[in-house]
Amino acid sequence: MISSKLRQKWAVTLLAWSVALLLAFPVFWIVLTGFKTETEAISRVPHFFFHPTLENYQAVGERANYFHFAWNSIVVSLGSTFLALLLAIPCSYAMAFFPTKRTKDTLLWMLSTKMMPSVGVLVPIYLIFRDTGLLDTKTGLLAIDAMLNLPIIIWMLYTFFKEVPREVLEAARMDGAGPLRELYDLLLPLSMPGIASTSLLAIILAWNEAFWSLTLTAAKAAPLTAFIASFSSPEGLFYAKLSAASTMAIAPILLLGWASQKQLVRGLTFGAVK
Amino acid sequence: MATVQLKQVRKSYDGFEVIKGVDLTIRDQELTVFVGPSGCGKSTLLRLIAGLEEITSGDLLIDHQRANDVAPAKRGLAIVFQSYALYPHMNVADNMSFSLKLAGIPKPERDKKVMEAARILNLETFLDRKPKALSGGQRQRVAIGRAIVRDPKVFLFDEPLSNLDAALRVRMRLELTKLHRQLRATMIYVTHDQVEAMTMADRIVVLQAGIIEQVGSPMDLYRYPRNIFVAGFIGSPKMNFMEASIAQVLQGGSVVVALANGATLSVPAVDGMAGAGDKVTVGIRPEHISLASSDGISAQVQTVEHLGSESYLHLNIASGELLTVRINGETTVVPDQQVQLKMEPRSLHLFNKEGSTMRSLPTSTA
Ligand SMILES: Nc1ncnc2c1ncn2[C@@H]1O[C@H](COP(=O)(O)OP(=O)(O)O)[C@@H](O)[C@H]1O
Ligand SMILES: [Mg+2]
């Protein structure tokens, strides 16, 4: 009995580690490659041991202004998350506490928009951006990222809000709280952990978003995804420099994810365990 | 002064009617209990009064003013939920003063009211605690305190004791009745437990499937149930029911009924309501049957339950019907024993085919 449980635990641990290693390896390899010389980087025999060099980072630094891209990424990911939350919170509140017959369908429909390939709306959105002067602006990218993440954010907030007993809100209503007070004094503080993990996820998604950043921005508003892309096609040897650039692009978000692991896991597994 | 009147109040969810035309007056300073089986619409009715649900049709009057469209907070009512619904992130004092704060009452006055409620409810030492750090009974008292500080016209309680253990429930029951006397407040109390209803109520409203079956004082309902449902619902152990038919209609408001086992009983009934041959149901409470030495209805004991102060006999009568009898705790009756039962005619209830009583009711019972 105990031994079979123990064996099961070992098996799960082993599996978890294998999957984690499999997922983490490419990232690990990129980081490693960033410190190699270009010759080492393309060598057919993988080098695990080598003399680390910073020359790639120097090269990358000379070619592009990292901080310009990083700043754009920060503004866009934080801004889009803020904008999306601003829209999603009242929306999820209404759906969670004043559902109608169509609420469930609406939620599903919103999520289903995520299944549509982005290229499908590339031309109309590009034209709208061109005509409204939003091309290559942080505002434009921020808005599109917010819209992109809105379904997931609404869905997550909806699940978190559902966890707040409706009677608590009703008690507040009896006590004289209007909808805004209900939101501000009760719902938001009570679902703060959920809102935090939702925001984290939204920031990460916006940070990593490449398709629209590449098509809708050029020099001015380009975020870090564009920064990486700019290293993907120069002449000559470039693997090591590309790796260095990638490392610089993903480092902030990796650190953020690392620091907020607990929140993220809680947010992403929410409802799954019940 | 605080009265609540319901006039032909109906509530439907998606076309499905849950409250089916309720007429009711809640009197000033009375503790009115809504009682009925789970799902009969008690909570819905309470929430309609509170304003948490919209009334589909009919009128709600609070102090003679139509209140259908008045916002919940403006009705001057306070509700205590079964789940307590405390604000988890606020301490006890803040929980209680939240409504006062929203009403813009200055802090010194707020503190005074909170202290006063805390004193009444023995919560003075818990004011700084979060709800998480309180026991069930304490949370319950905070929820009541939150209502008290608002000095509401009417207190609404939705099964406030059902999450407490049995001993605490009995104690809180007493405390609530005491509180009711102390505050001289009008209260509406919802429960599915007829014992709570009987022990606490000034007036009981028995509900079933969205309809009021009967309204009256606890003893009125006990003595003069209007129909089989109320008869079976009020009182514990439940009233016994036996199928019978009218054998003879006597002069002066009495009938002789024949039970399925052939025994006959004379039962009071309203003149002219019965004709010979009618199918009826005879009801008698377990405490109104006694054991006779001879010359009664014969029955066989199936099981004996000893409660110490009293015993319940479960008996078979010849018709196959099962009766419960409450007798003295020191009884020596054993299973399989044959006994004779005596039933006082005055304690017998008679119901027609539709389940309505055939006895006359005092005018106080609606
Ligand atoms: N929001 C709602 N939507 C649909 N049906 C409801 C809703 N609330 C209650 N009901 C239905 O109304 C009936 C009465 O419910 P309720 O008042 O909670 O009963 P009780 O409190 O007496 O147990 C039940 O059949 C319940 O399913
Ligand atoms: Mg209920």
Confidence class for position B364, pLDDT limits 50, 70, 90: low
Q: Is B13 in the pocket of ligand 1 (CB under 6 A)?
A: yes
**Residue A243: CATH number of its domain:** 1.10.3720.10
Question: Pick from B14, B52, B146: which is nearest to A170 by CB?
Answer: B52
Answer whether residue A149 shows pLDDT above 70: yes
Lowest mean pLDDT among A210-219, B148-157, B257-266, B357-366: B357-366
3-state secondary structure at position B7: strand
Tokens of B312: 């319940």
- Strand B186-191 relative to strand B31-35, pairing: parallel
Residue of B55, B45, B76 whose CA lies nearest to A175: B76
**Cα–Cα separations (whole angstroms), residue B193 to A201, A231, A264, B219:** 48, 75, 45, 16
Distances (CA, A) of B365 to A258, B204, B244, B305: 71, 10, 26, 34
Predicted local distance difference test score (pLDDT) of residue A86: 96
- For residue B285, is pLDDT > 90? yes
Residue A159's domain spans which residues? 57-268
Q: Tell whether A95 is covered by a domain.
A: yes
Average pLDDT of A221-242?
Answer: 81
Q: Which atom from ligand 1 is nearest to the alpha carbon of B37? A: 22
Does a structural domain hold residue A169? yes
Find the mean pLDDT for residues B259-281. 86
pLDDT at A263 over 80: no
- pLDDT band at residue A257, thresholds of 50, 70 and 90? confident
Task: Please give the average per-residue pLDDT across A55-66, as a whole number.
Answer: 87
Residue A62 pLDDT greater than 90, yes or no: no
Q: Is the pLDDT of residue A63 over 90?
A: no
Q: Distance between CA B366 and CA B60 in Å, rounded?
A: 20
| CB contact at 8 A, B20 and B10 | yes
Q: How confident is the model at residue A92 (pLDDT cuts 50, 70, 90)?
A: very high
Fold of B238-358: OB fold (Dihydrolipoamide Acetyltransferase, E2P) (2.40.50)
Whether A231 maps to a domain, the answer reads: yes
Residue B347 has pLDDT above 60, yes or no: yes
State how far the Cα of B77 lies from the Cα of B345, in Å rounded to an integer. Answer: 46
Number of domains in chain A: 1
Contact A164, B64 (CB under 8 A): no
Q: Which of A191, A198, A187, A218 has the alpha carbon at shortest distance from A72? A: A218
Least confident of A233-237, B100-104, B191-195: A233-237
Q: What angle do CA B346, B351, B352 make, to 5 degrees?
A: 140
Taking CB atoms and an 8 Å limit, are A174 and B78 in contact across chains? yes
Residue B38 CB–ligand 1 contact under 6 Å: yes
Per-residue model confidence (pLDDT) at position B273 = 78
Residue nearest ligand 1's atom 1 by CA: B13
Virtual torsion, Cα A252, A257, A263, A267, nearest 10 deg: 110
Task: Find the largest Cα–Cα distance for chain A.
Answer: 72
pLDDT over 50 (residue A162): yes
CATH code assigned to B4-232: 3.40.50.300
Q: Is residue A211 part of a domain?
A: yes
| Average pLDDT over chain A, rounded to an integer | 89
Is B26:B9 a contact under the CB 8 Å cutoff?
Answer: no
- Best A175, A191, A195 residue to mutate vs chain B (most B CBs within 10 Å): A175
- Is A90 a residue whose pLDDT tops 50? yes
Per-residue model confidence as pLDDT tens digits over B120-157: 999 999 999 999 999 999 999 999 999 999 999 999 99
The mean pLDDT value for B100-104 works out to 95
- Of the pLDDT bands very low, low, confident and very high (cuts 50, 70, 90), residue A274 is very low
If you average pLDDT over residues A167-192, what whole number do you get? Answer: 93
Please say if the pLDDT value at position B94 is more than 90. yes
Contact A185, A95 (CB under 8 A): no
Q: In whole angstroms, how far apart are CA A49 and each of A25, A33, A52?
A: 16, 11, 9
Separation of A166 CA from ligand 1 center, angstroms? 15
Please give the DSSP secondary-structure letter assigned to residue B159.
Answer: S
Domain assignment present for residue A228? The answer is yes
Task: Quote the pLDDT of residue A237.
Answer: 66
Helix (H, G, I), strand (E, B) or coil at A154: helix
Domain assignment present for residue A239? The answer is yes
Measuring CA to CA, how many Å separate A10 from each of A6, A89, B34?
Answer: 6, 42, 57
Does B312 lie at the interface with A, CB-CB under 8 angstroms? no
- pLDDT at res. A95: 95
Q: What's the confidence (pLDDT) of residue A272?
A: 46
**Domain assignments of chain B as residue spans, ordered by start:** 4-232, 238-358
Instruction: Name which of A165, A175, A189 is nearest B73 (Cβ-Cβ).
Output: A175
The dihedral through the CA atoms of B203, B209, B211, B214 has a sign that is negative
**Residue type at B308 in one-letter notation:** G
Task: List, as one string, the DSSP characters of A120-148.
Answer: GGHHHHHHHHHHTT-TT-HHHHHHHHHHH
The verdict on ipTM greater than 0.85 is: yes
Q: Which of B12, B13, B17, B52 to mutate to test the pocket of ligand 1 (most atoms within 8 A of CB)?
A: B13
pLDDT in tens, B292-320: 888 788 999 999 999 999 999 999 998 88
- Which of A162, A175, A188 has the alpha carbon at shortest distance from A98? A162
Q: Which among B52, B101, B142, B154 is the top mutation candidate for probing chain A, defined by the most A β-carbons within 10 Å of its own β-carbon?
A: B52
Residue at A261 is within a domain: yes
CA–CA gap between residue B55 and residue B69 (Å, rounded)? 9
Quick: pLDDT tens for B47-90.
999 999 999 999 999 999 999 999 999 999 999 999 999 999 99
The answer to the question of residue A198 being in a domain is yes
Among B17, B57, B14, B18, CA closest to B40: B18
Paired with B349 in beta bridges are B283
| pLDDT at residue number A273 | 42
pLDDT at A37 (0 to 100): 86
